[in-house]
Structure 1
Amino acid sequence: MSWIMRSLVRNAQLYPQRAALVAEDATLTYSVLVRRVASAAAEMQRCGVLDGEITAIALRRGTPQIIAALAAMWLGSPFAIVDLDEAPERRRAQVRASLATRLVVEQGADAAYAAEGVPTLRISTSGDTGPGPELAWPDDDDVAYVVFTSGTTGVPKSVAVPHRALGNYSRFLSSVLDQVRPAGAPLSCASVTSFATDLGHTAIFPALVSGDTVHLVDKPTMMDPLAFGSYMRAHSVDVLKSTASHMSAHLDHGARDVLPRTLMIFGGEPLSWDLVDQVAQNGTCRVLNHYGPSETTIGVLTYPVDPRRQEHRSSAHVPLGKPIDGVSVEVVGEELRAVPPGETGELLVWGECVALGYLGARDATRARFVALPSWLRSSGGGAQPVVAYRTGDTVRRLASGDIEFLGRNDRQVKINGQRIELGEVEAALRRCPDVRNAVVVHHSGTGLSAFVVPADPASPPDTKSLRSRLREELSVSAIPRVITVLDHIPLTLSGKLDATKLALVGDRASSVIPIRRGVN
């Protein structure tokens, strides 16, 4: 059986009456959780879920979603969480991209996925029928779960993460929790991000293998500063992982209680020193900056922040830090060549953390998952072929050895902790019948701005209608805040996008390019 499931079963024996999951729908002890997972696994097995075949899960946030995922792991079936907060077409695209052979849905939801050709099934997550089927024994390189990232073609990419990588990360964060845990006492860990993204995995797997309590905070509560602060205080939450923008918005509203008692983990986007100072002024928790693309399993670099130290304060953001156990990183230049310390380059990651690639996307996998250069293998990579992941992040190594994030070297951005491919938003706009061409740009202060050329110059599209169409396909974070209709997209003499002119257009400099309509 996987180390994750073995640890969960062990904790049910050691701490049977300890709360494992706390959610709006139920509170489950470790013994009850394992019995329900076993029961759900038996039911899924009867419905045809097989070892090694992927199971997609389209359930609301809460204990049923977690039970279904763990039940799939019990059977050796990788799970893929479909986020019900996403647009309907986006959800269906995720089901297709997952290559799932079964789809767990809620009562009455079958019709929403009927066209995908994947058999749907409904299971009880409140059953308690005994030990359940025999636990699967997956290999380290077998897929544990599938997580979706944005794709440049408008189609989600499915990252296949092996048990080896999930176990390596969970062991690391479990050791971090051990360092801050009061002697013999469980920690209270809050999960405030979707389980469909691996940002949300931080508070789930490491806490459950450590015998701690996971609080699945519902979306209305987590988005309301006062309600979230009340929840954190009432449940004495010790550990929280959040994006910087989420926490900053709460603190800006004066909601001091939103901070955990012991450990605040930031991830998903750059962390500013101003926010670090806000946390220090409003709470006593430690701060850990955390970095890791989905393709390298949740997190690979960490930086323990001490607000009293002035080291690295001159950097634009808090450093990403150093690699966790089992992970190696290097800053490389063109053709993966070495760059001197302090020089900028792309972050290359390898080790126990690297995913197996993108399901059904060989070219995309080959572009990002590459052979480790010989000069790195000879310095400790070993003689066997090693796969490394090209992050696309521009970084530099500081004198302390910590990695500093400088930006992206492609057209992928992070908004509210979610990775957005600008090309995906452009593709969705071009699918609108009244749009001939589209370009999307990202501004750190204002978010996404879209520029569209109408299919019929005499009948420009209504930007409110465009937004409505985008909401049917894209996540909320991917909807441009401003859509401007242009006669043409400006190009440089070399035929490339003229970003300077677009910036002027965005500032309403109508003398540069004729603007038909711009609506905020």
Structure 2
Amino acid sequence: MGRPEVGFTELSDAFSETRFEESDGAVVGFASFQAAAAHATAAAFAAGETRGHRLEPGATVLLAEDTGLPLLSKIIGLWDVGAIPLVAPIGASPASETLMDQTDWRWEGEGLVRLGEHDSARVRPEGADSLAIIHLTSGSTGAPKLAPRGVTSLLDEASRYRARYGFRPGDRALVAAPIGHSFGFGALLGLAASGAIIRVPSVFNARRLARALLAGCYAVIILTAPMARLLVAAARRSDAPAAPALRLAIAGAGPVSDALSANFAAMFGCPLGRNYGCSETGATFGDAAALPEGVIGRPFDGVRVLSPSGGETAELVLDLGHAVLANTERPLSIWRSGDNARRLPDGTIRLLGRRDARLKVNGQTIDADSLTKAVGTVPGVSDAVTLVLQAPSAADRDYLALVCEGDGIAPDQLTAAVAERGGPMPQAIATLKRFPRTAAGKPDRAALAAAVVSGKARRIACPSAEHRQPNARLPDDPVPAGIK
């Protein structure tokens, strides 16, 4: 097998002082964990090598079946032999053409399957930073894309987490957010570099984890907003004595409402801190304290905000201080986030929606962000998504659908909020108690489209015809022929 590069050794060394809590409660040091990972990796490749299929340095290996510590073990084992993990969490499509084109091996169960000839130029963009891992973007703003990360990028992110959130050696930390995605993985690196005792559950069990938090088992938790909402609900139903020891809770991979932040603090005695970043860059903003809705905090040390300047609304553009390997032309340190933002007087940043939140429906531009914000004021609505779907009776015609998440939403209040907003109206409005979500906790747009089409989402009457787009009509039997 190949030999690890210097950068991979540095990544493994970042874990040297950490310990892991296994599912049975046993705590193992990193040296033992790494030795087991190396043994498992060697065994997995042994069969392939006997057939002349040798692992080449820099080869990509697809990991699509594991979560929690089993996934981390494979990542560490691959780093130790100089291979690059391509992490496609359960639920992603590992058979997609994009993934297969970038993959040399796929790790299935105990063994590996060779998929193609290794091409070092394919996985190594020119630049100073060596490729270390490839994640997938969440797909919340389109089809999931490959998000390659370099060694320097990961090491910088780990040090920035430590500096911003004050991780301490010996902290007992629960990484509930999936490490198959950039947010959970970056936070894990920061905790590991701090010498924390880390639990990485393979499955999120809200009731079990809420009881552990109430019992004071953990000082730090890394989670998403939907996870926080489920933990609050589980804690309210629990009759266990409450003596939480949380001093730090970091919520990332999506927006956090003021109500959720207040409910989490009331239940667990700890503010719900903030975290913001992109899969391609890792975390770039955050704060340990609760912040007003939409505010993502201050940039991490070493991250410079190039845009917006004070008072203006503009795209959030950052200089990260190291190469971003996902830049299409060549690796640059400049990253355009695609989010509109405003810089506040205290130096924090408020997000104002995606720059691409404007949708095209039959040639007409729709401000989807203003529509979802309007219904966000309706009691019971916890989230909202707009979709552009194809009309069933006319392949060249689209229609706009609005889907709202929540329980006890009054249809008349919802339609009134839509109508009062003014401008073009949706031709379909539907509600679901709980949105289907990606592993990162973001709304699964494809699954939402299917719910609207199948009738799983509850359809309600739309605003009156005079508020609708010209020449638009409500489809009688829509099909999800396209999501835009």
Query: TM range, normalised to the smaller chain?
Result: 0.5 to 0.7
Partner Cα separation in structure 1 for residue 223 and residue 40 of structure 2? 30
Residue 433 of structure 2 corresponds to: none
Gap regions ≥5 residues in structure 1: 120-138, 307-311, 333-339, 359-364, 371-385, 448-462, 464-469, 486-504
Residue 277 of structure 1 corresponds to: 262
Residue 492 of structure 1 corresponds to: none
- Compare 146-155 and 64-73 and name the one that shifted more: 146-155
Q: 1:71 to 1:31 in 2, by over 3 A?
A: same
Partner Cα separation in structure 1 for residue 461 and residue 406 of structure 2? 12
Deviation at 1:292, TM superposition (A): 0.4
Contact 2:385 2:402 in 1 (8 A): no
Residue 242 of structure 1 corresponds to: 223
1:52 maps onto 2:62 in alignment: no
| Aligned residue among 53, 77, 85 for 1:79 | 85
Equivalence map 1:225-304=2 (5 Å): 226-233=207-214, 236-253=217-234, 254=236, 261-297=246-282, 299-304=283-288
Could you say what the CA RMSD is over the residues aligned between the two structures, in angstroms? 4.5
Gap regions ≥5 residues in structure 2: 49-53, 118-126, 359-367, 373-383, 408-429, 431-436, 480-484
Q: 1:6 to 1:390 in 2, by over 3 A?
A: closer
Partner Cα separation in structure 1 for residue 163 and residue 191 of structure 2? 10
Contact 1:346 1:394 in 2 (8 A): yes
Taking structure 2 as the reference length, the TM-score comes to 0.68
| Aligned residue among 134, 149, 153 for 1:165 | 153
SS at match of 2:198: strand
Q: 1:399 to 1:9 in 2, by over 3 A?
A: closer
Contact 2:128 2:323 in 1 (8 A): no
Deviation at 1:436, TM superposition (A): 6.8
SS at match of 2:319: strand
Q: Deviations over 1:195-220 (max 9, x none)?
A: 2211221342222222222212232x
Residue 102 of structure 2 corresponds to: 99
Q: 1:174 to 1:188 in 2, by over 3 A?
A: same
Deviation at 1:507, TM superposition (A): 3.8
Residue 192 of structure 2 corresponds to: 208
| Aligned residue among 160, 163, 188 for 2:172 | 188
Deviation at 1:69, TM superposition (A): 0.7
Contact 2:320 2:335 in 1 (8 A): no
SS at match of 1:269: coil
Deviation at 1:355, TM superposition (A): 2.3
Partner AA of 1:52 in structure 2: G
1:508 maps onto 2:466 in alignment: no
Q: 1:258 to 1:24 in 2, by over 3 A?
A: farther
| Aligned residue among 301, 315, 318 for 1:346 | 315
Partner Cα separation in structure 1 for residue 140 and residue 265 of structure 2? 39
Equivalence map 1:404-443=2 (5 Å): 404-411=350-357, 441=401
Q: 1:411 to 1:327 in 2, by over 3 A?
A: same
Q: 1:186 to 1:269 in 2, by over 3 A?
A: same
Residue 325 of structure 1 corresponds to: 301
Deviation at 1:146, TM superposition (A): 0.6
Taking structure 1 as the reference length, the TM-score comes to 0.63
Q: 1:353 to 1:437 in 2, by over 3 A?
A: farther
Partner AA of 1:393 in structure 2: D
Partner AA of 1:290 in structure 2: N
Q: Deviations over 1:173-192 (max 9, x none)?
A: 23346x353xxx51122122
Deviation at 1:280, TM superposition (A): 2.8
Partner AA of 1:161 in structure 2: R
Residue 39 of structure 1 corresponds to: 39
Partner AA of 2:108 in structure 1: V
Contact 1:267 1:289 in 2 (8 A): yes
SS at match of 1:483: helix
Partner AA of 2:96 in structure 1: A
Contact 2:251 2:272 in 1 (8 A): yes
1:175 maps onto 2:163 in alignment: yes
Task: Count matched residues.
Answer: 394
Deviation at 1:153, TM superposition (A): 11
Partner Cα separation in structure 1 for residue 281 and residue 402 of structure 2? 25
Partner Cα separation in structure 2 for residue 147 and residue 422 of structure 1? 26
Partner Cα separation in structure 1 for residue 44 and residue 111 of structure 2? 18
Residue 477 of structure 1 corresponds to: 444
Partner AA of 1:60 in structure 2: D
Q: 1:274 to 1:74 in 2, by over 3 A?
A: same
What fraction of aligned residue pairs are identical, expressed as a percent?
18
Partner Cα separation in structure 2 for residue 94 and residue 201 of structure 1? 25
- Compare 279-288 and 475-484 and name the one that shifted more: 475-484
Deviation at 1:29, TM superposition (A): 2.9
Q: 1:343 to 1:476 in 2, by over 3 A?
A: closer
Partner AA of 2:337 in structure 1: T
Partner Cα separation in structure 1 for residue 101 and residue 195 of structure 2? 31
Partner Cα separation in structure 2 for residue 249 and residue 10 of structure 1? 32
Deviation at 1:169, TM superposition (A): 0.4
Deviation at 1:264, TM superposition (A): 0.3
Contact 1:191 1:216 in 2 (8 A): yes
Q: Deviations over 1:408-462 (max 9, x none)?
A: 11149999xxxx9988x96xx89x9997765565556569xxxxxxxxxxxxxxx
Deviation at 1:160, TM superposition (A): 1.2
Contact 2:264 2:271 in 1 (8 A): no
Partner AA of 2:296 in structure 1: L
Residue 456 of structure 1 corresponds to: none
Partner Cα separation in structure 1 for residue 144 and residue 189 of structure 2? 24
Partner AA of 2:254 in structure 1: E
Contact 1:19 1:29 in 2 (8 A): yes
SS at match of 1:508: coil
